[in-house]
Structure 1
């Protein structure tokens, strides 16, 4: 998801631009040269990554740790996997010209479905608190520079090691900020019994844009997501998993 978020930076710099979120960024690719090929590659990559995130969450393939922090780490991976799966499917649907509803409408629709269940408001509130807790773990990891136990920093030059640490801290803090805002919207939706209050990533970016100094905040978030994307490139090169 972080790889597709620089649109937040674009929206902050262009007064006429709209914060569109990840699916908006995918849709933007359809009008670009080689856009279909890029969408196919992104869709496949996102679906494969969703499978990997699921494996990380339900097995001991990665070092999640123990206790509450480990459980929240696994929930974060599972949430990332679900988001990447939805984005991967969306990319393939765009290639096949399958009509899609607005992401914001889908978020509100799913919130309404959950609220209609017995104890539905409680379930939505629990989801909000869980997301908020995951954001808290990210903040702690950013503060401790606990980026990735499998990331081999010893193979990096001193400058790259420092850059990796900075990128990781900024990326984690940025993701934690967006997660926390989404959680707050969900919590308000549960308290007010109004699914229309819920916001996904796209709705969150648009809500931020409407606030005072919203453009500056979006610019900061855009830079943070670019930093997180750069870290993913470094992880692809230096991350080692030893059975």
Structure 2
């Protein structure tokens, strides 16, 4: 990348407006994950109504007038957080660009889903995954593609667990954060990674069995885990871990490094 372009990206990255927007986006992410934890906990104890995924959490938030207002703010925050991650990717070099670029895609998707929920046009994550898988499997290389998607998702989950174990997330925090923030990060990132890996496993299973109905989002993954021995305990533990991730995202509003 030309030096002038990198310098321009650095100026945008350092702007006060973008920093405030990124902090709002982190707060929105924290709120969504806390609602997601509550939905997963309801699912664990047999009283779930909404989809236990990010779309379900956003719909839950949009259920009241106040929630709709917060969701508009969240959509803007997610969009600005995505822009901030893009500028982070642009000012870095080599493979160091990949993590912020991936996070930019995630937050851009959350901004899109937030707007879709507000406009009443968003299906659940599991429904979208099955529809995509069905379209792919109609093609000659569709099964291979679905399997490759599963491997990528599985790798993303493994990276999250690795970050939790190695403590590399500390780079996103100010020096010497409170111990409770570090613990929330470790538990939350590890849990989120395992949940993502479970989604990747569903895609791999769908590819092996040539059945797009096996794919799904977090809601489908949690329902699958409920069918395992002690599945209720596992899903409840994931709910607690998601709550930890939500708490970590909220803590980054104050202790994050921008």
TM-score > 0.5, shorter chain as reference? yes
Answering whether residue 171 of structure 2 is matched by residue 149 of structure 1, we say yes
Give unpaired runs (5+ residues) of structure 2.
1-31
Q: Secondary structure at the match of 1:199?
A: coil
Q: Secondary structure at the match of 2:135?
A: helix
Shift of 1:219: 1.0
Q: Secondary structure at the match of 1:60?
A: helix
The answer as to whether partners of 1:47 and 1:88 remain within 8 angstroms in 2 is no
Distance 1:100 1:194, change over 3 A: same
Q: Quote the residue 1:88 is aligned against.
A: 114
Distance 1:50 1:190, change over 3 A: farther
Could you tell me which of 198, 204, 208 is aligned with 2:221?
204
**Higher normalized helix content (fraction of residues):** 2
Q: Secondary structure at the match of 2:171?
A: coil
Answering whether residue 90 of structure 2 is matched by residue 73 of structure 1, we say no
Q: Quote the residue 2:33 is aligned against.
A: 2
Q: Deviations over 1:130-183 (max 9, x none)?
A: 1111111111111112214131033x4xxxx21111100001111111111100
Shift of 1:100: 4.9
User: In 2, distance between residues paired with 1:226 and 1:3?
Assistant: 5
Shift of 1:198: 0.3
User: In 1, distance between residues paired with 2:135 and 2:114?
Assistant: 23
User: In 2, distance between residues paired with 1:62 and 1:162?
Assistant: 30
Answering whether residue 33 of structure 2 is matched by residue 11 of structure 1, we say no
Shift of 1:5: 1.2
Aligned length: 225
Distance 1:100 1:59, change over 3 A: closer
Q: Quote the residue 2:55 is aligned against.
A: 23
Distance 1:102 1:151, change over 3 A: closer
Give unpaired runs (5+ residues) of structure 1.
none
Could you tell me which of 201, 206, 216 is aligned with 2:233?
216
The answer as to whether partners of 2:199 and 2:218 remain within 8 angstroms in 1 is yes
Distance 1:148 1:4, change over 3 A: farther
Runs of 4+ in 1 over 6 A off after TM superposition: none
Distance 1:45 1:17, change over 3 A: closer
Q: Deviations over 1:10-57 (max 9, x none)?
A: 322x333357223333333455xxx12212322441353145336525
Bigger shift: residues 218-227 or 21-30: 21-30
Q: Quote the residue 1:181 is aligned against.
A: 198
Answering whether residue 160 of structure 2 is matched by residue 134 of structure 1, we say no
The answer as to whether partners of 1:55 and 1:61 remain within 8 angstroms in 2 is no
User: In 1, distance between residues paired with 2:138 and 2:72?
Assistant: 32
Shift of 1:72: 5.6
| TM-score, length basis structure 1 | 0.79
User: In 2, distance between residues paired with 1:121 and 1:177?
Assistant: 24
User: In 2, distance between residues paired with 1:114 and 1:58?
Assistant: 33
Distance 1:30 1:84, change over 3 A: closer
Distance 1:40 1:105, change over 3 A: same
Answering whether residue 38 of structure 2 is matched by residue 38 of structure 1, we say no
